[in-house]
Homo-oligomer: A and B are copies of this chain.
Protein backbone atom coordinates (compact mmCIF):
# COMPACT_ATOMS: atom_id res chain seq x y z
CA UNK A 1 0.00 0.00 0.00
CA UNK A 2 2.92 2.35 0.57
CA UNK A 3 3.90 2.36 -3.10
CA UNK A 4 0.46 3.21 -4.27
CA UNK A 5 0.61 6.98 -4.05
CA UNK A 6 4.28 7.61 -3.93
CA UNK A 7 4.49 9.76 -6.98
CA UNK A 8 0.96 9.86 -8.03
CA UNK A 9 -0.61 12.99 -6.73
CA UNK A 10 2.44 15.15 -7.08
CA UNK A 11 4.27 17.24 -4.55
CA UNK A 12 2.92 19.25 -1.70
CA UNK A 13 0.55 21.98 -2.52
CA UNK A 14 1.51 25.64 -2.31
CA UNK A 15 -1.37 27.69 -1.06
CA UNK A 16 -1.87 31.32 -1.95
CA UNK A 17 -0.07 32.82 1.03
CA UNK A 18 3.36 32.06 -0.31
CA UNK A 19 2.52 32.73 -3.91
CA UNK A 20 5.31 34.41 -5.88
CA UNK A 21 4.01 37.56 -7.54
CA UNK A 22 3.13 37.05 -11.17
CA UNK A 23 1.93 33.49 -10.80
CA UNK A 24 -1.81 32.92 -10.74
CA UNK A 25 -3.85 33.04 -7.56
CA UNK A 26 -5.35 29.77 -6.56
CA UNK A 27 -8.40 29.11 -4.45
CA UNK A 28 -7.66 27.48 -1.15
CA UNK A 29 -11.16 26.15 -0.84
CA UNK A 30 -11.00 24.37 -4.17
CA UNK A 31 -7.61 22.89 -3.36
CA UNK A 32 -8.94 21.57 -0.10
CA UNK A 33 -11.87 20.00 -1.84
CA UNK A 34 -9.45 18.05 -3.97
CA UNK A 35 -7.37 17.22 -0.92
CA UNK A 36 -10.48 15.50 0.30
CA UNK A 37 -10.92 13.68 -2.96
CA UNK A 38 -7.35 12.44 -2.73
CA UNK A 39 -7.79 11.47 0.90
CA UNK A 40 -10.91 9.50 0.07
CA UNK A 41 -8.96 7.68 -2.59
CA UNK A 42 -5.99 7.01 -0.37
CA UNK A 43 -8.13 5.73 2.47
CA UNK A 44 -10.55 3.85 0.23
CA UNK A 45 -13.40 5.78 1.80
CA UNK A 46 -13.48 7.17 5.34
CA UNK A 47 -15.57 8.79 8.05
CA UNK A 48 -15.58 12.42 9.13
CA UNK A 49 -13.36 11.99 12.18
CA UNK A 50 -10.81 9.90 10.35
CA UNK A 51 -10.55 12.45 7.57
CA UNK A 52 -10.31 15.34 9.97
CA UNK A 53 -7.31 13.72 11.63
CA UNK A 54 -5.79 12.66 8.32
CA UNK A 55 -5.98 16.15 6.85
CA UNK A 56 -5.59 18.09 10.08
CA UNK A 57 -8.82 19.99 9.64
CA UNK A 58 -11.64 20.44 12.09
CA UNK A 59 -14.49 17.97 11.95
CA UNK A 60 -17.05 20.57 10.95
CA UNK A 61 -14.93 21.72 8.05
CA UNK A 62 -14.53 18.19 6.75
CA UNK A 63 -18.23 17.69 7.17
CA UNK A 64 -19.01 20.77 5.10
CA UNK A 65 -16.69 19.75 2.31
CA UNK A 66 -18.14 16.26 2.22
CA UNK A 67 -21.66 17.61 2.17
CA UNK A 68 -20.79 19.82 -0.75
CA UNK A 69 -19.08 17.06 -2.71
CA UNK A 70 -22.05 14.90 -2.00
CA UNK A 71 -24.49 17.47 -3.28
CA UNK A 72 -22.34 17.66 -6.40
CA UNK A 73 -22.66 13.86 -6.66
CA UNK A 74 -18.95 13.24 -6.64
CA UNK A 75 -19.13 11.58 -3.25
CA UNK A 76 -21.58 9.09 -1.81
CA UNK A 77 -22.24 8.21 1.78
CA UNK A 78 -22.70 4.58 2.73
CA UNK A 79 -23.69 4.35 6.34
CA UNK A 80 -21.13 6.56 8.03
CA UNK A 81 -18.37 6.25 5.50
CA UNK A 82 -17.93 8.58 2.58
CA UNK A 83 -16.62 7.34 -0.77
CA UNK A 84 -15.85 8.75 -4.20
CA UNK A 85 -18.76 8.15 -6.55
CA UNK A 86 -19.01 6.73 -10.04
CA UNK A 87 -19.39 10.29 -11.26
CA UNK A 88 -15.64 10.27 -11.61
CA UNK A 89 -15.87 7.27 -13.92
CA UNK A 90 -18.46 8.96 -16.08
CA UNK A 91 -16.49 12.16 -16.43
CA UNK A 92 -13.39 10.05 -16.98
CA UNK A 93 -15.01 8.14 -19.81
CA UNK A 94 -16.01 11.43 -21.34
CA UNK A 95 -12.45 12.72 -21.18
CA UNK A 96 -11.10 9.53 -22.69
CA UNK A 97 -13.56 9.70 -25.51
CA UNK A 98 -12.50 13.28 -26.18
CA UNK A 99 -8.99 12.05 -26.79
CA UNK A 100 -8.36 11.71 -30.51
CA UNK A 101 -5.75 9.02 -30.11
CA UNK A 102 -8.15 6.86 -28.14
CA UNK A 103 -11.08 7.42 -30.43
CA UNK A 104 -9.15 6.61 -33.57
CA UNK A 105 -6.67 4.13 -32.16
CA UNK A 106 -8.94 1.82 -30.17
CA UNK A 107 -10.10 -0.43 -32.96
CA UNK A 108 -6.65 -0.54 -34.59
CA UNK A 109 -5.21 -1.62 -31.27
CA UNK A 110 -7.76 -4.38 -31.05
CA UNK A 111 -6.73 -5.56 -34.49
CA UNK A 112 -3.11 -5.50 -33.42
CA UNK A 113 -3.82 -7.62 -30.35
CA UNK A 114 -5.82 -10.02 -32.45
CA UNK A 115 -3.18 -10.32 -35.17
CA UNK A 116 -0.23 -10.75 -32.83
CA UNK A 117 -2.06 -12.53 -30.03
CA UNK A 118 -0.03 -10.49 -27.57
CA UNK A 119 -0.99 -7.86 -25.06
CA UNK A 120 -1.42 -4.38 -26.54
CA UNK A 121 -1.34 -0.94 -24.93
CA UNK A 122 -2.34 2.54 -26.00
CA UNK A 123 -0.79 5.30 -23.91
CA UNK A 124 -0.36 9.03 -23.76
CA UNK A 125 1.49 11.53 -21.62
CA UNK A 126 0.10 13.98 -19.12
CA UNK A 127 1.98 16.07 -16.58
CA UNK A 128 5.16 14.15 -17.39
CA UNK A 129 3.75 10.73 -16.62
CA UNK A 130 2.28 8.02 -18.79
CA UNK A 131 -1.41 7.25 -18.80
CA UNK A 132 -2.81 4.10 -20.37
CA UNK A 133 -5.80 4.98 -22.46
CA UNK A 134 -6.64 1.43 -23.44
CA UNK A 135 -5.39 -2.13 -23.17
CA UNK A 136 -6.38 -5.28 -25.04
CA UNK A 137 -5.38 -8.79 -24.29
CA UNK A 138 -4.60 -11.09 -27.25
CA UNK A 139 -5.06 -14.84 -27.30
CA UNK A 140 -1.55 -15.79 -26.28
CA UNK A 141 -1.16 -12.98 -23.77
CA UNK A 142 0.36 -14.08 -20.49
CA UNK A 143 -0.10 -12.59 -17.09
CA UNK A 144 -3.00 -10.92 -18.77
CA UNK A 145 -5.10 -11.19 -15.69
CA UNK A 146 -2.55 -9.23 -13.76
CA UNK A 147 -2.10 -6.70 -16.48
CA UNK A 148 -5.76 -6.17 -17.25
CA UNK A 149 -6.85 -5.91 -13.68
CA UNK A 150 -3.89 -3.96 -12.42
CA UNK A 151 -5.08 -0.67 -11.15
CA UNK A 152 -4.82 2.01 -13.75
CA UNK A 153 -2.33 4.62 -12.55
CA UNK A 154 -0.14 7.28 -14.08
CA UNK A 155 3.37 5.88 -14.17
CA UNK A 156 6.90 6.91 -15.07
CA UNK A 157 7.69 7.09 -18.73
CA UNK A 158 11.28 5.91 -18.72
CA UNK A 159 10.81 2.20 -18.16
CA UNK A 160 7.98 1.26 -20.50
CA UNK A 161 8.00 0.80 -24.27
CA UNK A 162 5.11 3.21 -24.66
CA UNK A 163 6.77 5.71 -22.34
CA UNK A 164 10.12 5.67 -24.10
CA UNK A 165 8.50 5.99 -27.50
CA UNK A 166 6.79 9.13 -26.24
CA UNK A 167 9.88 10.57 -24.56
CA UNK A 168 11.87 10.06 -27.75
CA UNK A 169 9.56 12.42 -29.57
CA UNK A 170 9.10 15.14 -26.99
CA UNK A 171 11.25 18.27 -27.19
CA UNK A 172 14.53 17.76 -25.35
CA UNK A 173 13.79 20.47 -22.79
CA UNK A 174 10.54 18.83 -21.87
CA UNK A 175 12.33 15.52 -21.25
CA UNK A 176 14.87 17.37 -19.12
CA UNK A 177 12.05 18.88 -17.15
CA UNK A 178 10.42 15.50 -16.64
CA UNK A 179 13.65 13.89 -15.48
CA UNK A 180 14.30 16.80 -13.12
CA UNK A 181 10.81 16.55 -11.78
CA UNK A 182 10.44 12.80 -11.30
CA UNK A 183 13.96 11.39 -11.51
CA UNK A 184 14.67 7.95 -12.98
CA UNK A 185 13.66 5.43 -10.32
CA UNK A 186 14.46 1.80 -11.09
CA UNK A 187 12.00 -1.07 -11.23
CA UNK A 188 14.34 -3.89 -12.23
CA UNK A 189 18.09 -4.10 -12.68
CA UNK A 190 17.67 -3.31 -16.37
CA UNK A 191 15.88 -0.01 -15.84
CA UNK A 192 17.68 2.98 -17.28
CA UNK A 193 18.63 5.16 -14.34
CA UNK A 194 21.29 7.35 -15.87
CA UNK A 195 20.32 10.55 -17.58
CA UNK A 196 22.84 10.33 -20.40
CA UNK A 197 22.02 6.68 -21.04
CA UNK A 198 18.42 7.71 -21.39
CA UNK A 199 19.15 10.38 -23.94
CA UNK A 200 21.26 7.96 -25.96
CA UNK A 201 18.46 5.41 -25.85
CA UNK A 202 15.97 8.03 -27.02
CA UNK A 203 18.27 8.89 -29.91
CA UNK A 204 18.39 5.22 -30.91
CA UNK A 205 14.62 4.99 -30.71
CA UNK A 206 14.21 7.98 -32.98
CA UNK A 207 16.60 6.50 -35.51
CA UNK A 208 15.11 3.04 -35.77
CA UNK A 209 11.50 4.14 -35.31
CA UNK A 210 10.45 1.88 -32.44
CA UNK A 211 11.21 1.43 -28.75
CA UNK A 212 12.10 -1.66 -26.77
CA UNK A 213 11.43 -2.38 -23.14
CA UNK A 214 13.72 -5.25 -22.26
CA UNK A 215 12.69 -6.37 -18.78
CA UNK A 216 13.12 -2.80 -17.63
CA UNK A 217 9.77 -2.66 -15.90
CA UNK A 218 8.99 -6.28 -15.08
CA UNK A 219 11.49 -9.11 -15.19
CA UNK A 220 10.66 -11.56 -17.94
CA UNK A 221 8.56 -9.11 -19.90
CA UNK A 222 9.55 -7.52 -23.17
CA UNK A 223 7.61 -4.87 -25.05
CA UNK A 224 7.88 -3.21 -28.42
CA UNK A 225 6.50 0.31 -28.80
CA UNK A 226 5.99 2.91 -31.50
CA UNK A 227 5.00 6.57 -31.27
CA UNK A 228 1.96 8.15 -32.84
CA UNK A 229 2.59 11.68 -34.03
CA UNK A 230 0.43 14.13 -35.89
CA UNK A 231 1.41 15.86 -39.07
CA UNK A 232 3.07 18.68 -37.16
CA UNK A 233 5.39 16.20 -35.54
CA UNK A 234 3.83 16.50 -32.12
CA UNK A 235 3.65 13.14 -30.36
CA UNK A 236 0.10 12.27 -29.35
CA UNK A 237 1.00 9.06 -27.58
CA UNK A 238 2.19 5.58 -28.43
CA UNK A 239 1.26 1.92 -28.69
CA UNK A 240 2.99 -1.30 -27.73
CA UNK A 241 2.72 -5.05 -27.65
CA UNK A 242 4.23 -7.05 -24.82
CA UNK A 243 4.89 -10.65 -23.92
CA UNK A 244 7.35 -13.03 -22.30
CA UNK A 245 10.97 -12.38 -23.38
CA UNK A 246 11.48 -15.96 -24.44
CA UNK A 247 8.82 -15.74 -27.08
CA UNK A 248 9.32 -12.12 -27.99
CA UNK A 249 13.02 -12.55 -28.70
CA UNK A 250 12.77 -15.29 -31.32
CA UNK A 251 14.25 -13.39 -34.20
CA UNK A 252 11.78 -13.86 -37.03
CA UNK A 253 8.89 -13.36 -34.67
CA UNK A 254 10.60 -10.32 -33.23
CA UNK A 255 10.98 -8.73 -36.64
CA UNK A 256 7.43 -9.53 -37.49
CA UNK A 257 6.14 -7.92 -34.30
CA UNK A 258 8.13 -4.76 -34.88
CA UNK A 259 6.65 -4.61 -38.34
CA UNK A 260 3.11 -4.98 -37.00
CA UNK A 261 3.53 -2.40 -34.27
CA UNK A 262 5.12 0.23 -36.46
CA UNK A 263 2.57 -0.43 -39.11
CA UNK A 264 -0.35 -0.06 -36.72
CA UNK A 265 1.05 3.19 -35.37
CA UNK A 266 1.25 4.39 -38.92
CA UNK A 267 -2.30 3.49 -39.76
CA UNK A 268 -3.48 5.35 -36.68
CA UNK A 269 -1.46 8.39 -37.68
CA UNK A 270 -3.00 8.43 -41.12
CA UNK A 271 -6.50 8.12 -39.74
CA UNK A 272 -5.90 10.89 -37.24
CA UNK A 273 -4.53 13.19 -39.89
CA UNK A 274 -7.57 12.53 -42.00
CA UNK A 275 -9.88 13.54 -39.18
CA UNK A 276 -7.93 16.54 -37.98
CA UNK A 277 -8.00 18.24 -41.36
CA UNK A 278 -6.29 21.44 -40.43
CA UNK A 279 -6.56 22.32 -36.78
CA UNK A 280 -3.62 23.71 -34.94
CA UNK A 281 -2.10 21.50 -32.29
CA UNK A 282 -0.77 23.79 -29.59
CA UNK A 283 1.56 22.54 -26.90
CA UNK A 284 0.20 21.07 -23.70
CA UNK A 285 0.93 22.47 -20.30
Binding site for B on A (CB under 8 A): 10, 13, 24-27, 29-31, 33-34, 37, 41, 44-45, 63-65, 67-69, 71-74, 76-80, 83-99, 106, 124, 126-127, 131, 133, 149, 151-154, 280, 282-285
Secondary structure of the A contact surface, majority rule: mixed
Cross-chain contact A95 with B88 (CB below 8 angstroms): yes
Contact A94:B86 (CB < 8 A) given known A30-B33, A64-B26, A73-B127: no
Contact A95:B91 (CB < 8 A) given known A27-B33, A65-B27, A79-B282: no
Pairs A–B under 8 Å by Cβ, sample size 16: A24-B67, A25-B64, A27-B65, A41-B91, A45-B98, A76-B284, A78-B284, A80-B282, A84-B95, A84-B98, A86-B126, A88-B88, A88-B94, A89-B152, A90-B152, A97-B151
Whole-angstrom distance between the alpha carbons of A69 and B25 in the complex?
11
Whole-angstrom distance between the alpha carbons of A127 and B85 in the complex?
10
Cross-chain contact A77 with B127 (CB below 8 angstroms): no
Whole-angstrom distance between the alpha carbons of A33 and B34 in the complex?
10
Residues of B within 8 A of A63 (CB): 24
Residues of B within 8 A of A151 (CB): 93-94, 97
CB distance from A185 to the nearest CB of B (A): 19
Whole-angstrom distance between the alpha carbons of A262 and B153 in the complex?
34
Whole-angstrom distance between the alpha carbons of A25 and B71 in the complex?
10
Cross-chain contact A131 with B92 (CB below 8 angstroms): no
Residues of B within 8 A of A65 (CB): 27, 30
Contact A89:B85 (CB < 8 A) given known A67-B24, A76-B284: no
Residues of B within 8 A of A152 (CB): 89-90, 93-94, 97
- Identify the 9 closest CB pairs spanning chains A and B, nearest first: A92-B92, A79-B282, A89-B92, A24-B67, A29-B29, A93-B152, A26-B68, A88-B92, A30-B33
Partner of A84, one of B30, B64, B94: B94
Partner of A27, one of B29, B31, B127, B133: B29
CB distance from A163 to the nearest CB of B (A): 15
Partner of A124, one of B27, B31, B86, B285: B86
Q: A77-B284, A85-B126 are in contact. List 15 more A-B contacts (CB 8 A).
A: A25-B64, A26-B68, A27-B65, A31-B71, A34-B72, A34-B74, A41-B91, A73-B126, A78-B283, A78-B285, A86-B124, A86-B154, A88-B94, A93-B152, A97-B149
